[in-house]
Structure 1
Amino acid sequence: MSQAITSEQFSKLEQGKTTCFFNESLISDFTAEMLSPSYWQRQDAVTGSAQGRGTTWFVAYKDNNNNQHDWVLRHYYRGGLIGKIIKDSYWFSGVESSRAACEFALLRHMKTLQLPAPEPVAYRVIRHKLTYQADLLSSRIQDAQDLVAVLSEKTLTDDVWQRIGATIKRFHHHGIYHHDLNSHNILLDDKEQVFLIDFDRGELRTNPVNTEWKQANMARLQRSFLKELNKLAQFYFTEKNWQALMSGYQGLN
């Protein structure tokens, strides 16, 4: 037996050990199955995929007015050494504290701030006794590539690098902590507009005195550029590019 609890345009759906939360204004005919790749495969609605810790699926959804929406479906996988042992299970301490619910809430908050990040569509948490598994459905940034893909093909102007830095500063200015800020999680669209993605384990940090996390974020990003530079045969990144990025970051008050 399922029960829907509506709050504004968002709804909660509970079916046994499965709990879902979704944006009714985007997906009025929601079912829990929509958080599974097999659902979209049966609908012949998979438009692509990408490999990371697991497979990220790109899917197309048509609403009741026949408008198409392009979304990203991601399953939560553990990283590091523990991820080799416990692939995708997390200790359960409540739905609202799950990885999916926290990222969904942060994406909702960023949307109210009009920050360039994906829009949350739905999430699913499946409880297994003391653990859970989770999935997230969010909007896809249209006609965009991550910086690693872009910089493997071409150089960027100082203006674009400065815009990347200024965009990151906007997030930091609003207290948005990105747990894994790296060159894969920054996108450029075909108009060279900048977006940040993948806010798993991200947080809202409102203490204006503590700025160490911002410095750590930027240091992590710089290391990721250097890592790709050492790994890839062709990767257009120099110290001058980093200085231009930091110029954009420091120029926004």
Structure 2
Amino acid sequence: MNLQRFVKQSSLNLFQQGPITCAYYGNILVDFEPDMFSGSYWQEKQAVTGTATGRGTTYFVAHKDNQLVLRHYYRGGLIGKFLNDSYLYTSVLNTRAAREFQLLMHLQSLGLPAPEPVGFKVHRKGLSYSADIITRLIANSRDLVAQLVKGPLSHEQWLQIGATIYQFHQHGIFHHDLNCHNIMCDDNDNVWLIDFDQGSVKPAMGTWCQKNLDRLLRSFRKEKNTLSQFYWQESDWQALMQGYQRC
């Protein structure tokens, strides 16, 4: 599928100017400007409501009646020290941003609890590109690490976390980096998964599911050994797996 067909089928707006390509929902990014994919744009408008740091800075912004999340794509690992935010360009739809955007659209169609995609930007630089994505903020939510440094979760919450992960696996949704930072709980104890960069659709309930779970368990153990206060114990994992297996 080419870009124009994808945009038309998805009811997206398309902006193309020189090396810049943006696809976005015009009913959300009203009065669109390509600079909306820059943190400095929102800072100048005093619309930044918060930030989070990881490989880079994630911006939480208020636009009209929408609460949004802006994230720039950065490389991890050793290669990230040299290439930082540069990726090999083959086509717009094959960029990290466009692939994550399409996966999030698929998750929305399945009714799975994941961020709603709003738009993405690709900046081509010869044979390489950099990219950004905007999603809708999951209201009144915190990731599991932020929750567990304050206090323990209930048995029922762990069951729900396990059941939610199973939902994704049942539909063949592979999360490339399933860790306790990428699982959110809101004020109503609803569970959400975020950050689907490099995620994909695989055969449902394959051997990859156990590898996904093993990665998540390692992340809990890592935070337990790193943080001075982290209200997690191995029995919580058993509750999570109980919720996963009983679905």
* Shorter-chain TM band: over 0.9
Aligned-pair Cα RMSD in Å: 1.3
SS at match of 2:208: helix
Is it true that 1:91 corresponds to 2:93 in the alignment?
Answer: no
Partner residue, 1:145: 142
Is it true that 1:14 corresponds to 2:16 in the alignment?
Answer: yes
- Distance (Å, rounded) in 1 between the aligned partners of 2:19 and 2:158: 46
- Distance (Å, rounded) in 1 between the aligned partners of 2:178 and 2:86: 23
Aligned counterpart in structure 1 of residue 53 of structure 2, from 42, 48, 51: 51
Partner residue, 2:216: 221
- The number of residues matched between the two structures is 242
SS at match of 1:84: helix
- Distance (Å, rounded) in 2 between the aligned partners of 1:156 and 1:227: 18
How much does 1:60 deviate? 0.4
How much does 1:6 deviate? 4.3
* Counterpart residue identity of residue 170, structure 1: Q
* Counterpart residue identity of residue 129, structure 2: Y
- Distance (Å, rounded) in 2 between the aligned partners of 1:239 and 1:33: 46
The aligned runs of 1:1-253 (5 Å cut-off) are 6-62=8-64, 68-205=65-202, 207-208=203-204, 211-252=206-247
- Identical pairs, percent: 52
- Distance (Å, rounded) in 2 between the aligned partners of 1:232 and 1:192: 24
* TM-score, with structure 2 as normaliser: 0.95
Listed as ranges, the gaps of 5+ residues in structure 1 are 63-67
* TM-score, with structure 1 as normaliser: 0.93
* Counterpart residue identity of residue 234, structure 1: Q
How much does 1:166 deviate? 0.2
Listed as ranges, the gaps of 5+ residues in structure 2 are none
C-alpha deviations, 1:137-190, integer Å up to 9, x for none?
A: 001111111100101111111110000000011011111100000000001111
Determine if contact 1:6/1:12 at 8 Å carries over to the other structure: no
- Distance (Å, rounded) in 2 between the aligned partners of 1:28 and 1:147: 33
- Distance (Å, rounded) in 2 between the aligned partners of 1:203 and 1:23: 22
Partner residue, 1:65: none
- Distance (Å, rounded) in 2 between the aligned partners of 1:22 and 1:199: 18
